[in-house]
Chains A and B, each alone.
Chain A
Amino acid sequence: MKEASIRGKIQLTLLRIIVYTILVFLTVLCLFFFYLMIINATRSNAQLATGFTLLPKGNFFVNLKNAWNDASINIPRGMLNSLIIALSSALITTYFSALTAYGVHVYEFKGKKLVFTFIMAIMMIPSQVSALGFLELMNKWGLTNNYIPLIVPGIAAPVVFFYMKQYMESVLPLEVIDAARVDGSNEFRTFNTIVLPMLKPAIAVQMIFSFVSSWNNYFIPALLLDKAELKTVPIMIAQLRSADYSKFDMGKVYMFILLAILPVLLIYIILSKSIIKGVTAGSVKG
């Protein structure tokens, strides 16, 4: 008995060592490139040309000033634009996906199975395969250099729908809806005031995912937006790769990359706890 428990303890300790080693390795791997980025954002172009270092230099604020005030890449404006688009599309995507999932989950109607299968089927189709027609149509409607084509299509997000549907299957007791009906609540009100709050954890998670994917989106916005004042951050970052960039100093380039990811990073660091808790709490409660 005792021997077994000692052996178990040793095994556990060994296992823990292995697990922590893996975790530390992954942590270093995740942070290494970003650490280098931050270090390099503190070095001047001339210092950068001297090679590798892990120690910061004193050029951070010079680079920051240069990047923030750069004439060709208006990064503050780009960040504002990206924020507007990402926030709106996150709200729209999660709300309408929940609405659609609710419609399919709760109601019995003719063709419901077909609807579900259809959405599942289109989930596999990447948006790029209709990009050509999409651009043509937006051109025709005069919606280039406009944020509508970047936000409104988020209403139809099959992946988010699928997640919401699954979530509802596990956490949404239909008695609640019945009870609301008994109380005379109409269907929309039931959804908005009773169901949505119950979906909070799922909505929070999907909002983050939608926000991130919109913030990161490069393909379609790059094809739709030309006006300097409308450009989003990814378009600006991709521009760093263009021929002109040798006229930039590399310190500034690192600063641009840092600025492009910093706001989301800060939001994430502040909210990460509740997000992760939201994910887990939702599933456990279910």
Chain B
Amino acid sequence: MEAIQTGKKKKLKSVSYAKWGYIFIAPFFIAYIVFTLVPQFLTIYNSFFETYRIGLQQVGPNFVGLDNYKALFTPDPDGTILILKYAANTMILWIAGAVPQFVIAMLLALFFTSYRLNIKGQAFFKTVIYMPNLIMAAAFSMLFYTLFSRVGPIQALLESWGVIDHTFDFFAIRVSVRGMIALMNFLMWFGNTTIVLMAGIMGIDQALFESATIDGANSVQVFFRVTLPLLMPIFVYCLITAMIGGIQMFDVPQVLSKGDGVPNGTTRTLVMYLNGYLKTKNLGMSGAISVIMFIITGGLGGIVYKMLSAQYKEPKRHRDRGRNVQWRYEPKRHRDRDKGGNVQ
């Protein structure tokens, strides 16, 4: 009786519900258009102009076509194309932090969720490992700078152990500056990833593990055959957000190297490069860099999303209640009519 009534209601009201979809998503799109899309077009538009300031004097805007892009990809006398160098820096810095971040986070998530291991003090460990994520990147970076500076305690400690002499400078060596940045990024994010992955694992139906174990699967097999596939959506989510963060990398290297990307620009990221032009209101060049970044992120994001969504399998519980049940509020016929305007 009730079921029939609900079914009837669905049919009756289905026409008016579609508009609620538009209403509910409207604020998002308005905000997006005003604060991102319009600025995005302005940015692209600017990239075709020569427009910058020398102090109080404005040069341009003069339309120059693709000259800014040409300038970006013109190698300097010794053959370096700076934008490629900074893109490579950004990638190296991100990967150096992200690989340990995901490996450790996955391990920890498995440890914490394992009934067999039954880790004690989980609340404590989780609290601790998530903590660095709350630390403001600028403050964390400032802290590393002071701790590792020539007059900082780490230098003093290592000197007293005789590991280094007093002429040693953490900020003069590529590996050490990059290492510091990667370490900071790792510390700031592995706890976060752990917690999100844990939530994913705990969301998996316990019965699946049990039945796999009864079928004689060992824990490695359980991980690769059950846990990992079911964890894929949440893993995609983590990876995508981490990548967004990685491409945006700015605060940590900026504060650590005071904007210079020491040594020799090897820790200068794309956004730091962009920031350099932004400060002098060189809208043409910074516009061109922005567009290049836009293309890079788009490309990378597309690849990762495609690659991983091919394996995107929804956990069982989703299938029960989610997509496969096809929660459609409108009968199919009705949708066709909407589309084609052609009834019957």
Residues of A within 8 A of B (CB): 12, 15-16, 19-20, 22-23, 26-27, 29-31, 33-34, 36-37, 40, 48-49, 51-53, 96-97, 99-100, 102-104, 106-110, 112, 115, 119-137, 149, 152-156, 159, 161-163, 166, 169-170, 173-174, 178, 181-182, 187, 191, 209, 212, 215-216, 218-219, 223, 233-234, 237-238, 240-241, 250, 253-254, 257, 260-261, 264-265, 268-269, 272-273, 276, 279-280, 282-284, 286
CB of A83 to closest CB in B, whole Å: 13
7 smallest A-B Cβ distances: which pairs?
Answer: A103-B24, A124-B301, A133-B42, A107-B21, A133-B39, A51-B156, A283-B203
When chains A and B are docked, how far (Å) is the Cα of A273 from the Cα of B125? Answer: 11
When chains A and B are docked, how far (Å) is the Cα of A136 from the Cα of B49? Answer: 15
**Chain A contacts for B190, CB-based, 8 A:** 26
When chains A and B are docked, how far (Å) is the Cα of A121 from the Cα of B302? Answer: 8
Stretch of B3-11, B63-71, B171-179, B220-228 that contacts chain A: B3-11
Question: Given contacts A107-B18, A132-B290, is CB(A153)–CB(B322) below 8 Å?
Answer: no
**Chain B contacts for A37, CB-based, 8 A:** 143, 147
**Chain A contacts for B315, CB-based, 8 A:** 170
Q: Is A125 in contact with B146, judged by CB distance below 8 angstroms? A: no
CB of A72 to closest CB in B, whole Å: 15
CB of A250 to closest CB in B, whole Å: 7
Partner of B298, one of A124, A149, A260: A124
Partner of B28, one of A152, A156, A163: A156
Q: Which of B2-45 contact A (CB under 8 A)?
A: 5-6, 9-10, 13-14, 17-25, 27-32, 35-36, 38-43, 45
- 20 A-B pairs with CB atoms under 8 Å apart are A29-B187, A30-B128, A30-B132, A33-B147, A40-B146, A53-B153, A107-B21, A123-B244, A126-B244, A131-B274, A132-B39, A133-B41, A134-B35, A135-B278, A136-B42, A156-B29, A219-B271, A238-B255, A241-B145, A283-B203
Partner of B43, one of A112, A133, A223: A133
**Chain B contacts for A122, CB-based, 8 A:** 32, 36
Stretch of B74-82, B91-99, B208-216, B235-243 that contacts chain A: B235-243
CB of B238 to closest CB in A, whole Å: 10
Q: Is B31 in contact with A152, judged by CB distance below 8 angstroms? A: yes
Nearest CB to that of B258 among chain A residues? A241
Interface size on B, residues (CB 8 A): 124
Q: Is A237 in contact with B136, judged by CB distance below 8 angstroms? A: yes
Nearest CB to that of B203 among chain A residues? A283
Is B126 interfacial (CB 8 A cutoff)? Answer: yes
Is B170 interfacial (CB 8 A cutoff)? Answer: no
Q: Is B123 in contact with A273, judged by CB distance below 8 angstroms? A: yes
CB of B177 to closest CB in A, whole Å: 15
**Chain B contacts for A137, CB-based, 8 A:** 38-39, 42
Q: Is A280 in contact with B202, judged by CB distance below 8 angstroms? A: yes
Question: Given contacts A51-B157, A96-B28, A170-B322, is CB(A108)–CB(B274) below 8 Å?
Answer: no
